[in-house]
Amino acid sequence: MIYQGNAITVVQRDDGIATLTFDAQGESVNTLSSKTIEEFEAALAALDQAAGVKGLVIASAKDAFIVGADITEFHGMFTRDEAFLVDMNTRVHRIFNTLEDLPYPSVAAINGLALGGGCEITLACDFRVMSDNAKLGLPETKLGILPGWGGCVRLPRLIGADNAIEWIAGGSENRADDALKVGAVDAVVSGDALMNAAVDLLTRANAGELDHRARRRLKQSPLMLNAIEQMMVFETAKGYVAGKAGPHYPAPIEAIKVIQKGAGEERERAQAIEAKAFAKLAKTDVCYHLVGLFLNDQLVKKKGKQYAMQAAAVNKTAVLGAGIMGGGIAYQSAYKGTPILMKDIKEEALQLGLKEARKLLGKQLERGRLSNEQVAEALCNIRPTLSYGDFGDVDLVVEAVVENPKVKEAVLAEVEGLLDDNATLTSNTSTISIDRLAANLKRPENFCGMHFFNPVHRMPLVEVIRGEKTSDAAVAATVAYARQMGKTPIVVNDCPGFLVNRVLFPYFGGFSQLVEQGADFERVDKVMEGFGWPMGPAYLLDVVGMDTAVHAQSVMAEGFPDRMAQEARNGGKTAIQRMYDEDRLGQKNGKGFYRYEEDKKGKPKKVSDEQAHALVDEGVDTRREFSDDEIVARMMVPLCMEAVRCLEDGIVATPAEADMALIYGIGFPPFRGGALRYIDALGVEAFVSQAEALADELGPLYRPTERLRDMAAKGERFYPATSESDH
């Protein structure tokens, strides 16, 4: 034994090969926490003192290799000044350089995920051998930072600047065959052959067959690109990446600049450029919010896992209603391996559902994500039926018929009588109270809401809605099934609109008041897209459908009449209602706030429509100009206030779950961290002042709650501050 720590051990074999193994005690995965980095430094120092070592294998005893740095440390660490962060990274560079400069060859045996700092450790080794099911990547830009422990220096020298930019700016996890193709690894083998392959590389290096010193020189020297090649690679990449990343995510472009600035430098100078850029990005609000988002996502996944561990097995399911939504649910279930019955009363509806599933599977085939055999297997997992004959052994049913309480109540009562006593029954309703739907059921404890978002295959969120009589077992089974489908389930309590739609409709309410007072809806869309939303409110209403919006609005108005009953100020109709009355339903019939034409790919493309503007202007007395800040405040305050109310009313359990639901469900700008983190960023006191000023003019939709006023008075926030100098 050369070294023994809590996360690292180093042992030497009889043939002189040493193995440094990462195995963090009491943890399911290896991370490079500050303590583990200290151990790594100590382990390398012990290796330096050991006699007779002829080569080093770096390995992991976990299923994953090393998943990266310990992100739970980031918020606290990143509140320190830039000089501290530069020093921290410079110290890690020295440690990794010690590994790279060992007097004998080194190899990383990558048995599973090697991400971030874990990937950077492998890059400091002379060779890399990878298990065929492992993945390698540098996802730091997704956290608003860049690889700061040598990734921006070593990877371009190893696989070429263009490939490295693709990996780093995209933050991708790369499969073994792709890593081998670009030269990031030297060999790919099955997991059980990994150690033998690693030792073989060291033996061949010691025998002079492989030149590990030449490998080192390549990684430590300037990039082999002349000035014209550099310009072509970097300037082209900047233009492309800027278009993909957008203006709110600076890290991908900054990473390209770091690679470019370091291209003509030796190792240490290039690393100094990287360390400085990392420190600058770590201090940005975008980084702060994206790290918070990662931590929130971990909490949501952990809660989902805890529910799923208590669940009975969900091996066979059914969906009632085979339209686009039913077909989407059937596809997602079948694609992820859970067989599903698709039931409807009309043969043409079943064919429509199957057509939707076939179309989505065809796209996966085109992209190379599925083989012909896998497509056939997934289609075999969907059984269309016009009868309830096979429902006796179904574990869970998703009712996805029209959003009409009477129709849903009749269908739910009908199917309940055919199910096993322990089967779970769910409704894919977007607004109707679960308690109302449960009223006529014999086993309301087996019933809950399972709200999918459209399109099912794209939207990651599923709201699992607990009614007053819903049992823990029903919730657990529904959460487990959502996870099996590859979705992120968030458990909420019952109320009109549940969480996401309840929070979304005050946003639409703010929009209605804005256009009624003379704001141009196309300008509102541009401002909110500039704020970070994937689409502005008018465009979003067209995508949702005016009929769906009007129906949901009526449910909200009934549930929360004081602030959500919407009538135009002059006693007339809101712009949304007028669109609906004129049969301008949005994308579904080609006209709404915009007109829709097919682009070259057959997708609806929005174009400005004078008739839509004339219709909206009917309810406007005078055209009025609003500043960008006024538009943002009037749109965001009602949305954020409703998120606060949902938390206070116990509809959602934690700020983290509220924020993740809005990011996953309606595309809340991720770099702003969610509605409650957005309030924290503004300052609760400043937000309350802004809301009160707007409420005086615009009414209860904008009015802060007493609890929020109290938080403002006491200087409280939704997320704990990590230090006095926190954002």
Catalytic residues: 451
Cα–Cα distances (Å) from 89 to 24, 65, 311, 332, 726, in that order, read: 22, 21, 44, 43, 21
**What's the CA dihedral at 685, 689, 691, 696 to 10 degrees?**
150
Amino acid at 457: H
Q: Distance (Å, rounded) from C-alpha 447 to C-alpha 427? A: 8
Q: Distance (Å, rounded) from C-alpha 139 to C-alpha 240? A: 18
Rounded to the nearest 10 degrees, what angle do helices 537-544 and 546-559 cross at?
100
Q: Distance (Å, rounded) from C-alpha 521 to C-alpha 510? A: 12
Q: Distance (Å, rounded) from C-alpha 107 to C-alpha 199? A: 8
H helix or E strand, kind and range, residue 195: helix 194-206
CB of 341 closer than 8 Å to CB of 317? yes
Encode 429-459: b = buried (16+ Cβ within 10 Å), e = exposed. bbbbbbbebbeebebbebbbbbbbbeebbeb
CB of 658 closer than 8 Å to CB of 676? yes
H helix or E strand, kind and range, residue 548: helix 546-559
CB of 223 closer than 8 Å to CB of 161? yes
> Both tokens of residue 316?
């066979």
- DSSP symbols for 16-36: SEEEEEE--TT-SS--B-HHH
H helix or E strand, kind and range, residue 137: strand 135-137
Mapping DSSP to helix (H, G, I), strand (E, B) and coil, where does residue 130 land? strand
Cα–Cα distances (Å) from 174 to 57, 116, 157, 245, 304, in that order, read: 22, 12, 18, 19, 27
Residue 705 DSSP one-character state = P
Q: Distance (Å, rounded) from C-alpha 63 to C-alpha 545? A: 46
Q: Return the residue matching tokens 């590389």.
A: 201
Strand partners, 9: 4, 21
Q: Distance (Å, rounded) from C-alpha 717 to C-alpha 45? A: 45
Mapping DSSP to helix (H, G, I), strand (E, B) and coil, where does residue 320 land? strand
Residue 171 DSSP one-character state = T
> Both tokens of residue 291?
């790290």
CB of 394 closer than 8 Å to CB of 316? yes
Q: In angstroms, how far is CA 562 from the centroid of its own chain? A: 35
> Both tokens of residue 474?
């029903």
> Both tokens of residue 336?
């992820």
Strand pairing class (488-493; 187-189): unpaired
Cβ neighbours of residue 691 closer than 8 Å, sequence gap 6 or more: 637, 641, 702, 703, 704
Q: In angstroms, how far is CA 625 from the centroid of its own chain? A: 36
Phi first, then psi, for residue 144 (nearest 5°) are: 80, 10
- The closest alpha carbon to 30, from 46, 2, 6, 1, belongs to 6
Q: Distance (Å, rounded) from C-alpha 318 to C-alpha 313? A: 14
- The closest alpha carbon to 311, from 428, 448, 418, belongs to 448
Mapping DSSP to helix (H, G, I), strand (E, B) and coil, where does residue 595 land? strand
